[in-house]
């Protein structure tokens, strides 16, 4: 079985959120404070309820506070989990959690429900809770059933060195060996590692250490005699209590707790005996230690899954301390766990991981006016063709659109280079406002626009940021009429609430040239400096001079180089106050920038 739907109500900054999950991999992405960690913690609270020792619980500070009504009583926290059944045999462990759809007799799912509330007693606030399964509130849940639901958690700020240290609390390496169920002997034969086999291992070691012909026994006896002599001489006569010294334990658990991870230094096994042969973990880099720690956890996870019935792997920010190439390989490995019947939940800020993720697995979280919303891209209005296109197209830079407060889609590199400096001339800093400029390298805007169209009008789920589309209408090439392509883009955007389309009457460079005489002089100066033998017209209308400039750009094919040079010059001009008002940003671009920053068309 797997967690199909998860409903969170009044938990931390989340007022109400319904998440639809995939069977295998689920990647939760979004800006800071968009609820990613809260979702992971909510999963830990619910999935870990059957653990003997719970890592996390609900606190008073976890209850949602309505900022518009901060003095009102905090509403109850609710979690509702809906598990899809893959194998009907799974239901025998969860009878009291079964839900039967009245309209579909063949449809069953496993449901688990939590409600947390605050009880005031003797001027103290205490967190209380109710748990029930199935359809009807009050249906009790057998604790033994909850033990078949479990998770493994890899936190973001993990101290790999500490958690792999011998004898440390919750030593992950020791846990891996405790949960092993088979191993191969020297002949490659599979040996069952059950309770009796573990005892046999421990007994052999204890016998060897305590054997009368073993020097360990006499070494320990020497130390014991030494201590007892000093005890006898330093205590009151007749009150001496002799001590006995032995290893701390001979149980299998005690033995594997002493295991440690080391990193070989030399590949040559015949190196000098006096040379250091291993690095300890604390001599290793954070990133590599995180990978070692993750590998240990994952090895233990597969052992646990062999014993259990539902297991989730929760990972916060797998990119921590890993450079992009290591992120790629680690994330590919996580994807390869598909089919192991382990449901994976990952939170990430990494555009690298986002770019490498199948869009079907991505859920985008967004916070707007203190309201957290989500969009599972598999539930978006993206068509199959859109998904295929974006899957190939979203490199690291363009995947940042999922984290942005606002998005400007542009045709090419020229707009992408110049818009950030244009925004400063009209009083905005796009970076400070969290605005992402996405160069679509052409005119395939529809593949992106469908992200902002709600497929289900009732739930109205789509990307929640503002989007502006900037493109040319190419009318100078079509006898004054808009091109079919431009009209299509306008029509697609027309009825999408948070998408605004603005067209250049001709082209981006043309509109930039005719915006003002100052712009025209500046453009001529830049271009003639790039091409010292080229002299652009000084006479005629702005429009005529603009057409000549466009012809030169088309002939020499250096639009990107021109935009780069102009961006450099504008950066120098911007601090000069008397020139700020001289340079004019084309009006259609100014409108687009204001739209994505504050949702205003004015």
The predicted pLDDT at position 66 comes to: 85
Mean pLDDT check: name the lowest of 102-116, 128-142, 286-300.
Answer: 286-300
The predicted pLDDT at position 508 comes to: 94
Over residues 507-511, mean pLDDT: 93
The CATH number for 2-162+288-360, chosen from 3.20.20.140, 3.30.1490.190, 3.40.50.300, 2.40.30.110, is 3.40.50.300
* pLDDT band, residue 532 (cuts 50/70/90): very high
Q: Give residue-wise pLDDT tens across range 331-342.
A: 777 777 777 778
Over residues 114-142, mean pLDDT: 92
Extract the tokens encoding 445: 């805007």
| Nearest-angstrom CA–CA distance, 288 and 161 | 11
The predicted pLDDT at position 303 comes to: 63
Mean pLDDT check: name the lowest of 58-72, 155-169, 270-284, 418-432.
Answer: 270-284
Extract the tokens encoding 593: 């920038």
Considering only residues 601 and 167, tell me which one the structure prediction assigns the higher pLDDT: 601
On the question of pLDDT at 116 being above 60, the answer is: yes
Backbone angles phi, psi at 523, to 5 degrees: -65, -45
Mean pLDDT of the chain: 83
Mean pLDDT check: name the lowest of 16-20, 268-272, 433-437.
Answer: 268-272
C-alpha closest to that of 489 among 554, 418, 411: 411
Mean pLDDT check: name the lowest of 131-145, 351-365, 426-440, 516-530.
Answer: 351-365
Mean pLDDT check: name the lowest of 78-87, 266-275, 557-566, 587-596.
Answer: 266-275
Backbone angles phi, psi at 203, to 5 degrees: -65, -40
Over residues 513-537, mean pLDDT: 94
Over residues 515-535, mean pLDDT: 94
Strand, coil or helix: 215: helix
Dihedral of CA atoms 317, 321, 323, 325 in degrees, nearest 10, equals: -60
- Where do the structural domains in the chain lie, given as residue ranges? 2-162+288-360, 166-259, 380-598
Over residues 153-160, mean pLDDT: 67
On the question of pLDDT at 167 being above 90, the answer is: no
Cα 175 to chain centroid distance, Å, stands at 26
On the question of pLDDT at 478 being above 50, the answer is: no
Q: Give residue-wise pLDDT tens across range 563-602.
A: 999 999 999 988 888 888 899 999 999 999 999 999 987 6
Q: Give residue-wise pLDDT tens across range 272-314.
A: 555 556 555 555 555 566 666 666 667 667 666 655 478 898 9
Kindly give the pairing relationship between strand 98-100 and strand 77-84.
unpaired
Extract the tokens encoding 501: 């389309």
| Nearest-angstrom CA–CA distance, 438 and 276 | 52
Over residues 50-74, mean pLDDT: 86
Considering only residues 267 and 330, tell me which one the structure prediction assigns the higher pLDDT: 330
Over residues 352-381, mean pLDDT: 87
Query: Distances in Å between the alpha carbon of 171 and those of 43, 47, 176, 194, 258?
Result: 23, 22, 9, 21, 10
* DSSP string for residues in 411-478: SSHHHHHHHHHHHHHTT--TTTTTEEEEE-SSS-THHHHGGGS-SSTTTT-S--SEEEEEEE--GGGT
Q: Are 250 and 202 in contact (CB under 8 A)?
A: yes
The predicted pLDDT at position 277 comes to: 61
Mean pLDDT check: name the lowest of 53-67, 174-188, 279-293, 587-601.
Answer: 279-293
C-alpha closest to that of 381 among 394, 390, 373: 390
Over residues 251-266, mean pLDDT: 69
What angle separates helix 286-307 from helix 172-179, to the nearest 10 degrees?
30
The predicted pLDDT at position 457 comes to: 58
C-alpha closest to that of 475 among 417, 550, 410: 550
Over residues 148-161, mean pLDDT: 74
Q: Give residue-wise pLDDT tens across range 9-41.
A: 999 999 999 999 999 899 999 888 889 999 999
Considering only residues 211 and 496, tell me which one the structure prediction assigns the higher pLDDT: 496
On the question of pLDDT at 173 being above 70, the answer is: no
| Nearest-angstrom CA–CA distance, 137 and 78 | 12
Across-strand partners of 83? 3, 110
Extract the tokens encoding 444: 């395939």
Would you give the DSSP letter of residue 262? E
* % of the chain residues with pLDDT over 70: 84
Strand, coil or helix: 306: helix
What angle separates helix 413-425 from helix 559-573, to the nearest 10 degrees?
20
The predicted pLDDT at position 11 comes to: 96
Q: Are 314 and 154 in contact (CB under 8 A)?
A: yes
Which runs of consecutive H residues, i.e. helices, occur in 160-285? 160-163, 172-179, 195-210, 215-234, 252-256
SS (H, E, C) 118-177: EEEECCEEEEEEEEEECCCCCCCCCHHHHCCEEEEEECCCCCHHHHCCCCCCCCHHHHHH
Q: Are 408 and 592 in contact (CB under 8 A)?
A: yes
Q: Are 279 and 260 in contact (CB under 8 A)?
A: no
The predicted pLDDT at position 281 comes to: 53
Vertex 551 angle, CA 550 and 556, to 5°:
100
The predicted pLDDT at position 591 comes to: 96
Q: Model-level pTM?
A: 0.75
Extract the tokens encoding 189: 């034969």
Extract the tokens encoding 443: 């005119």
* pLDDT band, residue 416 (cuts 50/70/90): very high
The helix or strand, by DSSP H or E, that contains position 25, with its residue range, turns out to be: strand 25-30
* DSSP string for residues in 494-541: HT-TTEEEEEESS-HHHHHHHT-HHHHHHHHHHHHHHSTT-----SS-
369-372's contacts with Cβ under 8 Å and 24+ in sequence apart are: 370/13, 370/67, 371/15, 372/13, 372/14, 372/15, 372/17, 372/34, 372/35
Contacting residues for 22 by C-beta, under 8 A, at least 6 apart? 360, 361, 378
| Nearest-angstrom CA–CA distance, 327 and 274 | 37
Based on the number of CB atoms within 10 Å of its own CB, is 335 exposed (0-12), middle (13-18) or buried (19 or more)?
middle
Over residues 261-267, mean pLDDT: 60
C-alpha closest to that of 569 among 517, 532, 523: 523
* pLDDT band, residue 552 (cuts 50/70/90): very high
Kindly give the pairing relationship between strand 124-133 and strand 149-154.
unpaired
* pLDDT band, residue 475 (cuts 50/70/90): low
Q: Are 49 and 131 in contact (CB under 8 A)?
A: yes
The predicted pLDDT at position 72 comes to: 76
């Amino acid at each position: 079985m797997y967690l199909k739907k998860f409903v969170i109500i009044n938990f931390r900054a989340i007022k109400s959120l319904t998440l639809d999950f995939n069977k295998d991999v689920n990647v939760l992405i979004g800006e800071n404070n968009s609820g990613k960690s809260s979702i992971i913690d909510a999963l830990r609270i619910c999935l870990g309820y059957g653990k003997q020792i719970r890592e996390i619980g609900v606190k008073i500070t976890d209850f949602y506070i309505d900022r518009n009504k901060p003095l009102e009583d905090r509403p109850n926290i609710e979690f509702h989990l809906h598990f899809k059944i893959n194998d009907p045999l799974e239901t025998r462990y969860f009878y009291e959690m079964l839900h039967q759809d009245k309209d579909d007799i063949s449809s069953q799912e496993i449901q688990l429900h939590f409600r947390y509330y605050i009880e005031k007693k003797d001027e103290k606030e205490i967190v209380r809770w109710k748990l029930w399964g199935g359809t009807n509130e009050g249906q009790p849940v057998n604790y033994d059933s909850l033990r078949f639901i479990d998770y493994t958690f890899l936190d973001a700020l993990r101290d790999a060195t500490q958690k792999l240290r011998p004898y440390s609390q919750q030593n992950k390496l020791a846990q891996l060996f405790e949960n092993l169920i088979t191993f191969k002997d020297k002949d490659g034969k599979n040996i069952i590692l059950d309770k009796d086999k573990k005892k046999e291992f421990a007994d052999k070691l204890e016998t060897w250490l305590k054997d009368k012909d073993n020097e360990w026994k006499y070494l320990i006896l020497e130390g014991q005699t030494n201590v007892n002599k000093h005890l006898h001489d330093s205590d009151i006569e007749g009150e001496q209590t002799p001590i006995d010294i032995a290893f701390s334990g001979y149980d299998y658990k005690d033995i594997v707790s002493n295991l440690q991870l080391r990193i070989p230094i030399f590949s040559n096994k015949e190196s000098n005996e006096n040379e250091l042969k291993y690095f300890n973990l604390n001599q290793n880099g954070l990133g590599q230690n995180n990978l070692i720690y993750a590998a240990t956890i994952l090895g233990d996870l597969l052992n646990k899954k062999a014993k259990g019935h539902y297991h989730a792997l929760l990972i916060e920010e797998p990119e921590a301390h890993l450079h992009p190439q290591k992120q790629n390989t680690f994330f590919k490995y996580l994807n390869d766990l598909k089919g192991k019947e382990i449901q994976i939940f990952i939170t990430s800020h990494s555009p690298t991981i986002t770019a490498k993720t199948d869009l079907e697995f991505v859920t985008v979280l967004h916070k707007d006016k203190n309201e957290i919303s989500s969009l599972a891209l598999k539930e978006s209005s993206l068509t199959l063709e859109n998904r295929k296109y974006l899957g190939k197209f979203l490199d690291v830079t363009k995947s940042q659109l999922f984290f942005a407060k606002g998005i400007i889609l542009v045709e090419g590199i020229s707009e992408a280079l110049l818009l950030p400096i244009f925004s400063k001339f009209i009083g905005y800093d796009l970076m400070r406002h969290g605005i992402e400029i996405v160069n679509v390298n052409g005119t395939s805007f529809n593949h992106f626009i469908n992200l902002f169209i709600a497929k289900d009008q009732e739930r109205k789920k789509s990307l929640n940021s503002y989007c502006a589309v900037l493109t040319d209408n190419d009318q100078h090439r079509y006898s004054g009429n808009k091109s079919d392509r431009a009209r299509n883009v306008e029509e697609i955007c027309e009825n999408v609430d948070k998408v605004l389309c603005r067209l250049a009457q001709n082209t981006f460079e043309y509109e930039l040239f005719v915006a003002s005489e100052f712009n025209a002089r500046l453009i001529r100066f830049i271009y003639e400096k790039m091409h010292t033998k080229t002299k652009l017209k000084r006479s005629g209308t702005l429009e005529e001079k603009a057409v000549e400039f466009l012809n030169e750009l088309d002939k020499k094919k250096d639009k990107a180089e021109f935009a780069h040079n102009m961006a450099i010059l504008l950066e120098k001009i911007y601090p000069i106050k008397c020139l700020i008002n001289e340079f004019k940003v084309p009006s259609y671009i100014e409108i687009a920038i204001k739209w994505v920053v504050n949702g205003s068309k004015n």
